């Protein structure tokens, strides 16, 4: 089995799984019916993408592996998502800031992944790109509305941005699997996306009258399986059914 | 938040060539948000290829109390329907 390809797929897919799970927590709790549906739509888009990736990963793994075992039966250290996506839904501003910081990256990433030499990954990327473009449109709009809205909304989105900015740099770090897949023309060189990413952030934040946070030390670790304290709680809820009733199906 | 948002009416064209039809209403702060909300609330299941939104206050509606004078006079004017013509057999799809 191609361990590097397997790890690479998880590195891509786990971001969408954990962000999708976080957004799913908001189902029925959105600030209005319209935003509630919008956020859960985004969650479902992400989970749909995840299924494509995990089905492919399960094929590589072979044996009894399935998209479900990959999603639900791994230990915390085996999840390779970035720290950004596991941050909590503190308030609507945090939800939007987290979404925006991920969406801008996600679009840049998928735009490159669609040219992968791996045809399955390329096909998933092409399909996902349209979804991610809409997510970015939605979250960018809200960044501007909150930033350029009331004093209250401005201070909340500024606050969320200040707190979450430390997690952005990790998006552009290369893992071992990333390097191997890059050499084979399968993976994306995320280091090349960084300048464009921060330029886009600057443009939107300027328009939203949000100050660019100054950060000296960035957080990292998620890609290597070293997560923040929030991750265990996410997995406890997400994996509950499979842990309590192993091999349960419906 | 929502109590400050005005109401919008949503019209969706389900296929090219068909007309936009009224799908429902929603709340949004402005037209752009109304369009995005309409996309998420009303076209998640592939219902549409085009959306119109219009703020509800811009719609002038007939008063139901005036239904008598507005609509009832038309009820007994069957001759306004083109039902008294014989359609030749050669004409299909009528």
Gap between the Cα atoms of A210 and A28, Å rounded = 29
Q: Which of A35, A91, A143 to mutate to test the interface with B (most CBs of B within 10 A)?
A: A35
Residue among A32, A33, A138 whose CB faces B36 most closely = A138
Cα–Cα nearest to A117, from A26, A186, A56: A186
Average pLDDT over residues A120-141: 97
Question: Per-residue pLDDT averaged across B38-65, rounded?
Answer: 93
What the block records as the tokens of B15 is 């296929």
Contact: A141, B41; criterion CB under 8 Å: no
Q: State pLDDT tens for residues A10-56.
A: 999 999 999 999 999 999 998 899 999 999 999 999 999 999 999 99
What value does the mean pLDDT take over residues A73-98?
A: 97
Per-residue pLDDT at B45 exceeds 90? no
- CATH top-level class for B2-58? alpha beta
Distance from CA of B55 to the nearest CA of A (A): 16
Residue of A nearest to B8 (CA): A34
Nearest-neighbour CA in chain B from A127: distance (Å): 15
pLDDT, residue A249, reads: 81
B-chain residues near A141 (CB < 8 A) = 32-33, 36
- B4, pLDDT greater than 90: no
Is the residue at A249 inside a domain? no
Q: Which of A32, A41, A134 sits opposite B1 (nearest CB)?
A: A32
Q: What is the mean pLDDT of residues A201-209?
A: 98
| Three-class DSSP category at B10 | strand
| Domain range enclosing A219 | 3-244
**Mean pLDDT across the stretch A51-76?**
96
Give residue B94's pLDDT: 67
Say how many C-beta atoms besides its own lie within 10 A of residue B29's C-beta: 15
Q: Is the pLDDT of residue B1 over 60?
A: no
Is A38 within 8 Å of B28 when comparing Cβ atoms? no
ipTM greater than cut 0.90: no
Average pLDDT estimate for B32-46: 92
| Cβ pair B36:A31 closer than 8 A | no
Residues from chain B contacting residue A31 (CB–CB below 8 Å): 1-2
Shortest Cα distance from A10 to chain B (angstroms)? 28
DSSP A1: -
Where are the domains positioned within chain B?
2-58
Q: What mean pLDDT is reported for chain B?
A: 89
The dihedrals phi and psi of B11, each to the nearest 5 degrees, come to -120, 130
- Tell me the C-alpha distance between A131 and A195, whole Å: 23
Residue in A31, A38, A145 nearest the CB of B40: A38
Q: Bridge partners of B26? A: B8
Distance from CA of A240 to the nearest CA of B (A): 29
- Is A181 within the bounds of a domain? yes
- With H, G, I as helix, E, B as strand and everything else as coil, classify residue B5: coil
Residues 38-77 on B with a CB inside 8 Å of A are 39-41, 44
Tell if the CB–CB gap between B33 and A38 is shorter than 8 Å: no
Residues forming beta bridges with residue B12, ordered by sequence position:
B21, B51
Quickly state the pLDDT bin for A99 (edges 50, 70, 90). Answer: very high
Task: Say yes or no to pLDDT of A7 above 60.
Answer: yes
pLDDT at residue B3, as a whole number: 63
- Of B26, B27, B32, which is closest to A141 when you measure between CB atoms? B32
Q: How many domains does chain A have?
A: 1
CA distances in angstroms from A149 to A32, A158, B55, listed in the order given? 17, 12, 21
Predicted pLDDT of residue B72: 87
Cα separation of B71 and B39, whole Å? 35
Q: What CATH number is attached to the domain comprising A102?
A: 1.20.1260.10
């Amino acid at each position: 089995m191609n361990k590097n390809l397997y790890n690479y797929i998880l590195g891509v897919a786990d971001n969408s799984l954990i962000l999708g799970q976080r957004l799913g927590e908001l189902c029925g709790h959105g600030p209005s019916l319209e935003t509630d549906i919008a956020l859960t739509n985004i969650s479902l888009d992400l989970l749909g993408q995840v299924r494509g990736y995990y089905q492919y990963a399960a094929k590589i793994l072979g044996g009894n592996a399935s998209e479900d075992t990959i999603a639900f039966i791994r230990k915390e250290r085996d999840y390779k998502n970035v720290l950004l996506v596991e941050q909590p839904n503190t308030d609507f501003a945090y939800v939007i800031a987290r979404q925006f910081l991920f969406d801008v990256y996600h679009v840049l990433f998928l735009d490159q992944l669609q040219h992968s030499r791996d045809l399955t990954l390329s096909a998933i990327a092409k399909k996902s790109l349209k979804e991610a473009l809409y997510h970015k449109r939605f979250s960018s709009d809200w960044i501007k509305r909150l930033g350029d809205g009331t004093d209250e909304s401005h201070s909340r989105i500024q606050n969320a941005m200040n707190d979450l900015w430390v997690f952005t740099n990790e998006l552009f770090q290369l893992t071992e699997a990333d390097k191997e897949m890059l050499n084979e023309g399968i993976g994306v060189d995320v280091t090349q996306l960084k300048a464009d990413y921060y330029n886009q952030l600057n443009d939107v934040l300027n328009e939203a009258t949000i100050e660019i946070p100054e950060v000296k030390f960035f957080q990292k670790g998620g890609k290597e399986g070293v997560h923040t304290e929030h991750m265990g709680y996410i997995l406890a809820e997400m994996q509950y059914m499979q842990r309590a009733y192993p091999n349960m199906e419906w | 938040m929502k109590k400050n948002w005005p109401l919008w009416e949503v019209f969706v064209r389900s296929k090219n060539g068909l007309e936009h039809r009224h799908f429902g209403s929603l709340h949004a702060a402005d037209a752009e948000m109304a369009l995005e909300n309409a996309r998420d609330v009303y076209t998640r299941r592939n219902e549409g290829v085009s959306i119109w939104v219009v703020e509800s206050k811009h719609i002038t509606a007939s008063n139901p109390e005036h239904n008598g004078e507005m609509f009832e006079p038309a009820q007994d004017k069957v001759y306004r329907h083109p039902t008294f013509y014989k359609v030749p057999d050669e004409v299909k799809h009528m």
